[in-house]
Amino acid sequence: MSEGPGPTAARLTGRPVTGERPVTGALTEVTLDGGHVVMVKHGSHPGAVRAESAGLRWLADTGTVHVPAVHGHDGRWLVTDRVPPGRPSVEAAARFGRDLAALHAAGAPAYGAPPPDGPEDAYIGLAPMHNVRGEEWPGWYAEHRVLPYLRRAVDEGTLRGTEAAVVERVCERLPQLAGPAEPPARLHGDLWNGNVLWGADGHVWLIDPAAHGGHRETDLAMLHLFGCPHLGRLLEGYQETAPLAEGWRDRIGLHQLFPLLVHTVLFGRGYAGQAVTAAQAALAR
């Protein structure tokens, strides 16, 4: 019988366990001796556990955004600190905007570069994500962030050929649509609202990264796609620290193609229309 979350937490933290509380099928809240609480997550794949652990450490290394401390992983389980929950606030949103800008400015060796100790074959949610390096963002984004999920969606019958053709035209025109060239940013990579925690300490905490080198507008586009409390103030804080290139709002849909196609692959036809609409909007600029 495989080891459960409690024994795993005891082994990886070196501390006795006094309690467990299941949160989801893959996530358990474990209380250690002395009252310290950790989260024990069961990974869908050994590469996913390793990638998440490496991503959290890579983000933490910058000293910019707040991420829970990693206590250890073994390829199947990941143990991190629990973030005591608080409420969203304007002040925390503005601070997070500034911190996110600083994270992006910390940079990456190349587009698609994984964290130093992270695997090239990583994951975004439950979908495989290959961290293949590229020197120019438009070609890299098309080849490694859009087309793999587009092809899978077509092969599985989730996206029709005529719809895929619209996305393919966007990929062909990416050099003209991408805006000014920017250096690779250090991305969280899966920055939807569920991975943004508003802590009791007044800070925003980030969990579940799919970290890699990419274009900073991609993280911001994902925040727009799935919503975020006080997003306007967050963006003001970001712009105060690292102003975005002119026309960035017009490129939001372009950067949303990646997460929308991932969701099309994972969750089906409901996201296919959104992906096509985003592609049509990009072409209409």
pLDDT of residue 75: 86
DSSP string, 129-195: EE---BSSHHHHHIIIIIHHHHHHHHHTTSS-HHHHHHHHHHHHHHHHHS-S--PPEEE-S---GGG
Residue 63: strand pairing partners? none
Q: Kindly report, residue by residue over 45-104, the tens digit of the pLDDT.
A: 888 999 999 999 999 999 999 999 999 999 899 999 999 999 999 999 999 999 999 999
Give the residue extent of every domain in the chain: 83-285
Please indicate whether residue 15 or residue 226 has the higher confidence score (pLDDT): 15
**Which superfamily does 83-285 belong to?**
Aminoglycoside phosphotransferase (APH), C-terminal lobe (3.90.1200.10)
Q: Kindly report, residue by residue over 133-169, the tens digit of the pLDDT.
A: 999 999 999 999 999 999 999 999 999 999 999 999 9
- The whole-angstrom separation of Cα 65 and Cα 84 is 16
Here the tokens at position 15 are 């501390």
pLDDT of residue 1: 44
Q: Kindly report, residue by residue over 232-266, the tens digit of the pLDDT.
A: 999 999 999 999 999 999 999 999 999 999 999 99
Exposed e or buried b per residue across 268-283, where buried means at least 16 C-beta atoms within 10 angstroms of its C-beta: eeebbebbbebbeebe
pLDDT of residue 80: 98
Residues designated catalytic: 190
Mean pLDDT for 8-23 is 96
| Global pTM value | 0.96
